[in-house]
Each structure stands twice: as structure tokens, then as C-alpha cells.
Amino acid sequence: MTASEWWVKFFGQGAQDANDYTGRTIKKAAYNQAGSQYGWVLEYILPLDQGGTKADDNLHIVSYEAHVLRDGKITYSIDGIRYQVQKDESGKRGVYKIGDKRVSFWEREFGDVTEATDFAGNKIIKSAYRNENSQYGWDIDHIQPLSKGGVDTDENKQIVHIFTNREKADKTTFVIDGQQYQVRKTSKADEDEWADYDYSDKKYCIVQIDQRR
């Protein structure tokens, strides 16, 4: 595939800018541009000299700067954050923040994709965790707020856009983009009532409220 085709594979047809796993902004038009702050390259997740292969699933897109700072290492630091190449439960390799399981939670919720939408339909990108400067930033939300009796377990967590998380806050009934939502016990809500998220393994779910009633 060409560099442009790889970009579309990772970020979608219409995306002209994105963020790599370090949070750096990159632009589609700046492929391999070392002198651009938005330059990016295709990089082997596990370097070839460390046993990596040229297979498609061993490639990802990173900013040119992050690629240089990494310098072919498996364990390294960028901007004071420690990263390491690790395998997930399926055996696929990825780059993870050491001691940070949030990227693994993305894979638990969405599988092997680099972009998704939250329950309110807001687009998010895997590499943009807590990136306030990205239009695709995301965070992990407690569906039933801790202040309302929710617990800090995976069955009470979901991934949401930073904007969604800000608007939902610790409320159990709230409005986003004119649509009203409510937190309910999953056992008391039919699947066709769920907002756009898979709540099949969750204790709580979010449903859309028809405000015309």
C-alpha cells in the first residue's frame, strides 16, 4: 500500500490531521517530511532487528519526531512518559505506556480498531487518550458515577469522547447535543434502548430518552 492508503486505513478517508500515540499532531500531506512539525512516517512496532516482521500488523503511523526520539528501542521514554512494545491477549503487539492499562481497555471495548465512536456518536481515536488538543480525544467514564453508588470496575466503565465526559460529568440524566440520556441498570433496559455502545457485559447502560413524551 502507499503511504496515503496506510493513512486512510488508520485514520479514515476524510481525516487530514490526526494524533499519534504520543499525542503529537500529524497531517496527511506531511508524510516523511523531517522538517515539518506535522511530519509522519510508517514505523515497525517491533523493530526488524529485534525480531519484528514486515507484516501489516507490525506497522503503525507515528510523528517523525516521535520516531526519531524512539530510536528503534523496545522500551523508551518520550516527553517523560515510558513506553514499551508489548503483546495483548490475542498476541498482537502494540506500544503501551508502562503501568498504564487504558490502551488495553480500548482493545477490550472496541477490539482491533484505531478509531471508534462513543455512545453519543462522537468520533474518538485510540492514540488520543486524554488529549485535550485533539478533536478525537477520549477518556474512561464510570457509567454509574462513583458519587451515585457506582464502583470502579470494568463492568461500570465505558470509553467516551472528552467532550462527552465533560457534559455527562457525574449526572445520571443529562443532555448532549440536544439529546437527553439516562443511566439505567442494564438488566432493566432492552438492548434496542441502548445508546450507541455495547453494554452487554456492563451492569449499567445509557439509554436515549424521547423528549417528546
- The pLDDT of residue 99: 60
- The pLDDT of residue 211: 61
- The pLDDT of residue 205: 98
Q: How confident is the model at residue 185 (pLDDT cuts 50, 70, 90)?
A: very high
- Model-wide pTM > 0.75: no
- The pLDDT of residue 9: 93
Which of 14-28, 40-54, 69-83, 99-113 is predicted with the least confidence, judged by mean pLDDT? Answer: 99-113
Which of 52-66, 93-107, 177-191 is predicted with the least confidence, judged by mean pLDDT? Answer: 93-107
pLDDT tens digits along 106-159: 888 998 888 999 999 999 998 788 888 889 999 999 999 999 999 989 999 999
Cβ 182 vs Cβ 207: under 8 Å? yes
- Beta carbons within 8 Å of 205's beta carbon, 6+ residues apart: 143, 183, 184, 185, 186, 189, 193, 194, 195, 197, 199
Average pLDDT, whole number, for the chain?
91
C-alpha cell at 180: 437527553
pLDDT tens digits along 13-24: 999 999 999 989
Number of Cα atoms under 13 Å in the Cβ half of residue 26? 30
Cβ 195 vs Cβ 160: under 8 Å? no
Query: How far apart, in Å, are the Cα atoms of 177 and each of 98, 121, 131, 163?
Result: 36, 10, 21, 10
- The pLDDT of residue 67: 96
Calculate what percentage of the chain has a pLDDT beyond 90.
75
